[in-house]
Amino acid sequence: MVCGVIHVSSKGAPVTVHPAPDDTTWQLVAESLAFLQDSRTIEIRRDPAVLLGDTRRRLERFLADADPDDDRQMVACRLLFRIHQDQTRRLHQDTVRTAHAADEVRRIVGDLIETDTDGLIDQVPQRICRNLSFGRAMISSIATAVWIPRHLHIECDDSPESSAFLSYVDGARIPLAQAPLETEIVRTRTSAMSSRPDDDRRTFKTIVEVAHCDGYVAAPIMSRGRVIGILHADRPNDRSRVRDSDLAILSALGECLSSVFERAILEERLRRSSARVDEVFGEITAELSDIAGSPAPDRRPVADPVLADRPQTDRTLTDPGFARPTESSAGPNSGFLTAREREVLTQMATGATNAQIAYALVISEETVKSHLKQISKKLGTTSRAAAVARFAQLSSQACLQPR
């Protein structure tokens, strides 16, 4: 556990600081507590900047309450001036660090914009550590109220503790009900930080203990308004603890990566849909080849009785009877294809499922099934691919009829 211990004597000396994550800041805190005659041993596990602010307020209260003739006022003023200088220095460092981190976020997103989801899961934790100066980073997915760690990257650490952490997250499935902080991230779709996770009632204690975590930040990854993943990052065994600026940077990265993941997910769905369409049309092509390669009786469309008196030149593919097969090609139960049946066939030719056809035509799936049965009877087919192929053949023949 990274912490600072300040030993202060009741008379203001000696002052011992051990260890010193930030020598200047912690030394100022120790000297100020000694000056205020705060006789105790303090174990500090907060951000040094926060402790520095608390110490400054105590010195300001001392000056406000001090007797005008108190000689210690000058010492308090000097301490306050040094604290002000240190706070200014830290603010400048934070500003530079934040600006640099913002550039790194843009660099990460630019480098990964064309990466697929597997590549993103593999590369994002490593880039968080190396570009944003974290010691550990993890990306997890969220599915049906379960937190699933997908990839943990630990920068330059082969200690037994790190090995235990890696082993734990490998294949882990953590119910969100046991991790209130992560549940809060999923519910509110906002980032979160825990500066003392072992004492924080929101954290999942098992993973905190295995990871020996002193504090971490976490940010959501979203797709279509829903949290699909979470980024976690911390700095184990390091003098620099996570702070508000780390939370802001990881949150910004999470927002940017949400768009990157959205693009990757949509592209993969498009590829799968394209492959399905290719598969369906491959079956149709095979059916057409079989039909074209076998002898067949006269397949000229039987004239629609309603249109019998109309000249052939007036016939178009929109006429209700254009797809009616002959008795010999479609069987004794063949008949005219209705407008709705042609719409169903047109949708089916794209590879659409019954549910998708129902959605597109604003009808129920049962109605779609009924139409498909009628189509099969009229066209004399036994499969979807054969029906589409027969439909395409009849459409082609209708177009080729002499005018």
Residues 142, 249: one domain? yes
Residue length of the chain: 403
Q: Is residue 68 part of a domain?
A: yes
CATH at 304:
1.10.10.10
Could you say which of 68, 95, 122 is where a domain stops?
Answer: 95
Q: Is residue 385 part of a domain?
A: yes
* CA nearest to 303, candidates 287, 319, 288, 290: 319
375-401: average pLDDT:
78
For residue 391, what are its two tokens? 């439909």
Q: Is residue 280 part of a domain?
A: no
Lowest-pLDDT range of 48-62, 65-79, 328-342, 361-375:
328-342
180 — pLDDT class (breaks 50, 70, 90): very high
Residues 30, 119: one domain? no
Residues 6 or more apart in contact with residue 203 via CB below 8 angstroms = 179, 180, 181, 194, 197
Residues 122, 238: one domain? yes
Under a CB-based contact definition with an 8 Å cutoff, are residues 196 and 45 in contact?
A: yes
Residues 179, 223: one domain? yes
Alpha-carbon distance values, 371 to 23, 256, 346, 352, 366 (Å): 80, 46, 12, 15, 9
Could you say which of 67, 95, 123 is where a domain stops?
Answer: 95
Supply the pLDDT for residue 2. Answer: 41
φ, ψ for residue 56, nearest 5 deg:
-60, -45
* Domain total in the chain: 3
Q: Is the pLDDT higher at 101 or at 286?
A: 101
Residues 32, 166: one domain? no
State the DSSP H helix or E strand holding residue 324, giving kind and residue range, or none if neither.
none
Under a CB-based contact definition with an 8 Å cutoff, are residues 290 and 392 in contact?
A: no
Q: Is residue 177 part of a domain?
A: yes
Supply the pLDDT for residue 336. Answer: 66
Could you say which of 64, 95, 126 is where a domain stops?
Answer: 95
Give the predicted TM-score (pTM) of the model: 0.57
Residues 128, 244: one domain? yes
Phi/psi class of residue 219: alpha, beta or left (left: φ > 0; alpha: ψ in -120 to 50)? beta
User: Kind of pairing, strands 192-194 and 174-175?
Assistant: unpaired
- pLDDT of residue 367 exceeding 70, the answer is yes
Among 15-29, 104-118, 363-377, the range with the most confident prediction by mean pLDDT is: 104-118
For residue 289, what are its two tokens? 């080849």
Residues 143, 173: one domain? yes
Residues 9, 123: one domain? no
What is the DSSP track for 211-271?
Answer: HT-S-EEEEEEEETTEEEEEEEEE-TT-SS---HHHHHHHHHHHHHHHHHHHHHHHHHHHH
- pLDDT of residue 399 exceeding 60, the answer is no
State the DSSP H helix or E strand holding residue 365, giving kind and residue range, or none if neither.
helix 365-379
Q: pLDDT tens across 199-218, in order?
A: 999 999 999 999 999 899 99
% residues pLDDT > 90 (the chain)? 33
Residues 6 or more apart in contact with residue 320 via CB below 8 angstroms = 304, 306, 336, 337, 338, 339
Supply the pLDDT for residue 14. Answer: 45
CA-to-CA distance for 113 and 165, rounded, in angstroms? 30
CA-to-CA distance for 319 and 314, rounded, in angstroms? 9
Residues 6 or more apart in contact with residue 173 via CB below 8 angstroms = 146, 147, 148
Supply the pLDDT for residue 31. Answer: 86
253 — pLDDT class (breaks 50, 70, 90): very high
Residues 171, 199: one domain? yes
Q: pLDDT tens across 158-175, in order?
A: 778 889 999 999 999 999
5 — pLDDT class (breaks 50, 70, 90): low
- pLDDT of residue 107 exceeding 50, the answer is yes
Q: Is the pLDDT higher at 124 or at 329?
A: 124
Checking 148-156 for CB contacts under 8 A at 24+ apart, the result is 148/172, 148/173, 148/174, 149/174, 150/121, 150/229, 151/121, 151/122, 151/124, 151/125, 152/125, 153/125, 153/126, 153/128, 153/129, 154/129, 155/129, 155/130
Supply the pLDDT for residue 296. Answer: 47
CA-to-CA distance for 216 and 192, rounded, in angstroms? 9
Supply the pLDDT for residue 300. Answer: 47
Give the neighbor-by-neighbor strand order of the sheet with 216-223: 174-175, 146-154, 136-143, 226-234, 216-223, 192-194
Residues 66, 168: one domain? no
* CA nearest to 394, candidates 340, 326, 295, 311: 326
Q: What angle do CA 214, 185, 252 make, to 5 degrees?
A: 80
For residue 209, what are its two tokens? 């203990």
- Mean pLDDT computed over every residue of the chain: 79
Q: Is residue 283 part of a domain?
A: no
Task: Give the residue carrying structure tokens 């800041």.
Answer: 25
Supply the pLDDT for residue 46. Answer: 56
353-380: average pLDDT:
87
Residues 118, 258: one domain? yes
238 — pLDDT class (breaks 50, 70, 90): low
Residues 6 or more apart in contact with residue 236 via CB below 8 angstroms = 135, 136, 157, 161, 211, 212, 213, 214
* CA nearest to 181, candidates 134, 213, 133, 223: 213
Q: Is residue 249 part of a domain?
A: yes
For residue 132, what are its two tokens? 């944003």
Structural domain including 190 reads 113-267
Q: Is the pLDDT higher at 236 or at 309?
A: 236
Q: Is residue 87 part of a domain?
A: yes
Residues 6 or more apart in contact with residue 184 via CB below 8 angstroms = 190, 192, 202
Supply the pLDDT for residue 120. Answer: 96
Q: Is residue 277 part of a domain?
A: no
Supply the pLDDT for residue 203. Answer: 96
97-119: average pLDDT:
90
Residues 90, 118: one domain? no
- pLDDT of residue 151 exceeding 80, the answer is yes
- pLDDT of residue 220 exceeding 90, the answer is yes
Lowest-pLDDT range of 39-43, 161-165, 324-328, 332-336:
324-328
Q: pLDDT tens across 280-330, in order?
A: 776 666 666 555 555 444 444 444 444 444 444 443 333 433 334 443 344
